[in-house]
Amino acid sequence: MESSKNPASVVGKLLSKIKVPLILLLIAIVAFLGYKRYTVVKRAANLENMAKNKESTLVEKRDLMSTIATTGTIISESKRTVSAALSNTKVEHVNVEVGDYVEAGDVIVSFTMDSINRSISDLEADIAESKSVQQIDSGGNEREYYYSYGTEAITIKELQTKVERAQKTLYEACDEYGSLKRDKQAKIDSHELTEEQADELYKDKIAAAYKAQETAQQNLADANQALQNEIYKGSNTLANSTDTYNKNNLQASDSTNKLERELRDYKEKLSDYKIVAPVSGLVTSVNVQEGNGFTSGTIATIQNTDSYFVTTEIDEYDIPEVKLGQRVVIKTDATRDTELEGIVDEIAPTATGSESTNSTTTTSTSSAASSSASDATYTVKIKIIDVDERLKLGMTAKLSIVLEERSGVLTVPYDAIYENEAGESFIYVYDDSDKKVVIPNSGTKAAAPEEKKGFSFSEFFGLGSDNKKELEDLMPEKKEVAVTVGMESDYYTEISGNGIKEGLEVALPETEAKAELTFEDLANQRGGGPGGGGPR
């Protein structure tokens, strides 16, 4: 039988088995407690540093502006395109390049004139020939006209003679008839013949004379009618002859005039072969080259750079706020920090385009609403008052269209203003007292700390709550002060109210959030949130 086991040997074996795990466990506990101490001390040190360097701002007097911020493109005051009423013409000389400055009347492009000079010479020869033909035709027309006129005049003259003869015959017949009647009556009165005898003697003679008188009267009427007919016919014939004469002359003359008009047009086109600048300005495009043919289109573009404008698009939300004559602050990359002055010069009455997002941002109380999407945009043209040689056409300009301005008002940052549940605005103002506090186990030394009896394991590791009052005393003291909010800019807001004065120290939102960390946050390592309302 085996001898009974030695108790010391058994204990030794047991200790040898648990020695390593026990050591590891003790190391883990010490490491955990050390980490907890390190974390709390670090948090406390950060809080102490925050308290000594709290984030705040001062109430200050400033000049505020409420603006519509947008971007635009620099353009010239006016732009003229140069073209020519020519086609299929060779470019002879190009006297300008892009970037050149020209005066009104300067020749910028000229075309080869060989073709038009040949056309002018041909037309001058055609006109001379046409005038010769016109002269010959005019002579023939004139002779034909006078022949017709002469023939008709002779016919009318002959008819007038017939009328005169018929009239003379009528006079003679009337005289004969009257003479016979007088003779008959004389013989009766002298009792040379009785009435019966006289009637018998003169009966046939008087009847024949009367008949001759009637015939002569009819002949005169017929002659007059023939003359009148011939006069009417002749007048119509002469009128037709006159019309034909004039028409033939006009046709011959029109042919010559047409050639002369064409010649004038060609001579006027000679000026088109030398293209001059219609205005003074900067050449911004040249679309022809020497030696190439020209068919049609724009030859060059000239822009008046005596003054500059900026064109921008304003969305439909902001456009009602834009007025003619409003001041505009203009900045460009080329002019660095220099602020240029401008005024609103033109506002388009109708929408000019659509965009998925707004091109503008209103830096005012309505900025959140103005950032909503809008389809319609309106072109606004802004005149640059300041002249700066660094400006170039096509540059991008940052614009601030000034809606309202205030000078020398008390202001704080926009985020420093809070609003309670009743909708009243207030700020957090720090007290003037400067407190010295103790951060337990953080390495911060305090004057004559209160001694405590015995050893506190939790205090050694910074896990107790005995120092809660000291930690809370570290927090910067502040108080709520009611304010009335006035004009707002992009960052600062005007405030007023009882006790509001220049130089007053005001808490910023970051300071408020950090100052709300409590002792439990430090001891239990839990985060805390702000209370008593929040930033607007």
Give the pLDDT band (50/70/90) at residue 530.
Answer: very low
Q: Which tokens go with 228?
A: 């009148």
Question: What are the C-alpha distances in Å from 370 to residues 66, 84, 242, 362?
Answer: 14, 48, 84, 6
Over residues 266-295, the mean pLDDT reads: 82
Which residues, at least 6 apart from 78, have a Cβ–Cβ distance to it below 8 Å? 279, 281, 303, 304
pLDDT score of 186 more than 70: yes
Q: Could you identify the residue written with the tokens 């020749």?
A: 107
Q: What pLDDT shows up at residue 230?
A: 77
Over residues 92-113, the mean pLDDT reads: 86
Domains present along the chain, CATH in parentheses: 54-63+412-535 (no CATH), 64-82+298-408 (2.40.30.170), 115-270 (1.10.287)
pLDDT score of 319 more than 50: yes
Q: Which residue would you say has higher pLDDT here, 31 or 510? A: 31
Q: Which residue would you say has higher pLDDT here, 151 or 185? A: 185
pLDDT score of 140 more than 50: yes
Q: Which tokens go with 513?
A: 């959030």
Q: What pLDDT shows up at residue 330?
A: 94
CA distance 282 to 445: 75
Question: What are the C-alpha distances in Å from 129 to residues 186, 246, 259, 458?
Answer: 85, 21, 11, 130
Beta pairing, strands 396-413 & 505-507: unpaired
Element (H, E) at 70: strand 60-83
**Which three-class secondary structure state does DSSP give residue 66?**
strand
Instruction: Report residue 108 CA to chain centroid gap.
Output: 28
CA distance 5 to 278: 126
- Single pTM value for the model: 0.47
Q: Position 502: which residue type?
A: E
Check if the beta carbon of residue 302 is closer than 8 Å to that of residue 282: yes
pLDDT tens digit sequence for 437-465:
333 444 434 344 454 454 454 555 454 44
Q: Position 98: which residue type?
A: V
Residue of 369, 368, 370 whose CA lies nearest to 314: 370
CA distance 161 to 437: 154
Q: Position 152: which residue type?
A: E
Could you tell me what percent of the chain has a pLDDT over 70?
A: 68
Q: Can you give the C-alpha Rg of the chain in angstroms?
A: 61
